[in-house]
């Protein structure tokens, strides 16, 4: 098997409801067969699933497949990739995650605005802000959920709830490394905080 990038390419396994089932590193691949070493798997029987989704989380090159298990030997899982998954899936998988942080005006005018996140994806975040925000406004946001924390830019797309001051925001001008960091952090969070 090809050992390029062994033990460094991290993946998550998702069911059809986009619940995170396990995390693993890619050991190698030969054709449709991908071998993974399981890092973390909660109490679920992966072999009982007829099929599931596998997505890269820390790579700047998106890799994802839908398929099934060929076999499990200890912590090594052989996966049969039956079809590729469109890269747009990664940007739209939203994970509920609440944290406090700040929005910073892009041009130094005004003060930082405290916010609380509602959910996050690689493409954006939904957040609550006591201060009314205008659609199209751009800010920098500190993301404490990544390791290490990073600051990225976002644009306010729309008001989701005027009564609750809830806004939908899109990340803009993200570097591939930043997107990979956000993706890894949200799937790790989901894996460790998901309650059945």
133-180 pLDDT, tens digit per residue, is 999 999 999 999 888 999 999 999 999 999 999 999 999 999 888 988
Average pLDDT taken over every residue of the chain: 86
**Tens-digit pLDDT profile for residues 90-125:** 656 778 899 999 999 987 677 899 999 999 988 899
**Tens-digit pLDDT profile for residues 167-184:** 999 999 998 889 888 888
The pLDDT, as a whole number, for residue 150 is 93
Q: CA-CA distance, 193 to 98, in Å (whole number)?
A: 12
Q: CA-CA distance, 145 to 15, in Å (whole number)?
A: 23
Q: CA-CA distance, 138 to 122, in Å (whole number)?
A: 17
CATH of 94-193, one of 3.30.950.10, 1.10.1740.10, 3.40.250.10, 2.40.10.220: 2.40.10.220
Start-end of CATH 2.40.10.220 domains in the chain: 94-193
Mean pLDDT within 5-26: 80
Q: CA-CA distance, 41 to 82, in Å (whole number)?
A: 22
Dihedrals phi, psi of 102, to nearest 5 degrees: -135, 150
Residues ≥6 apart with Cβ < 8 Å to 39: 10, 22, 23, 24, 25
Start-end of CATH 2.40.30 domains in the chain: 10-91
Taking the mean position of all CA atoms in its chain, how far away is CA 147? 13
Dihedrals phi, psi of 183, to nearest 5 degrees: -60, -45
Instruction: Provide CATH code, domain 10-91.
Output: 2.40.30
**Tens-digit pLDDT profile for residues 45-74:** 888 888 998 988 877 777 889 999 999 998
- Which residue is associated with the tokens 């959920």? 145
């Amino acid at each position: 098997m090809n050992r390029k990038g062994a033990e460094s390419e991290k993946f998550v396994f998702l069911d059809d409801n986009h619940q995170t089932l396990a995390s693993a590193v890619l050991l190698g691949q030969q054709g449709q067969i991908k071998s993974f070493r399981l890092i973390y798997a909660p109490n679920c029987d992966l072999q009982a699933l007829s099929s599931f989704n596998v997505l890269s989380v820390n790579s700047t090159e998106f890799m994802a497949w839908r398929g099934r298990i060929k076999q499990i030997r200890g912590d090594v899982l052989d996966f049969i990739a039956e079809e590729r998954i469109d890269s747009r899936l990664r940007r739209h998988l939203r994970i509920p995650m609440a944290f406090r942080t700040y929005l910073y005006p892009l041009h130094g005018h005004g003060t930082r605005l405290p916010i609380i996140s509602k959910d996050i994806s690689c493409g954006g975040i939904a957040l609550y802000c006591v201060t009314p925000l205008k659609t199209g406004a751009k800010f920098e946001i500190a993301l404490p959920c990544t390791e290490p924390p990073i600051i990225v830019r976002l644009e306010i797309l729309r008001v989701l709830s005027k009564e609750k001051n809830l806004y939908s925001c899109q990340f803009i001008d993200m570097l591939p490394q930043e997107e990979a960091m956000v993706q890894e952090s949200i799937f790790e969070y989901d894996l460790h905080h998901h309650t059945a």
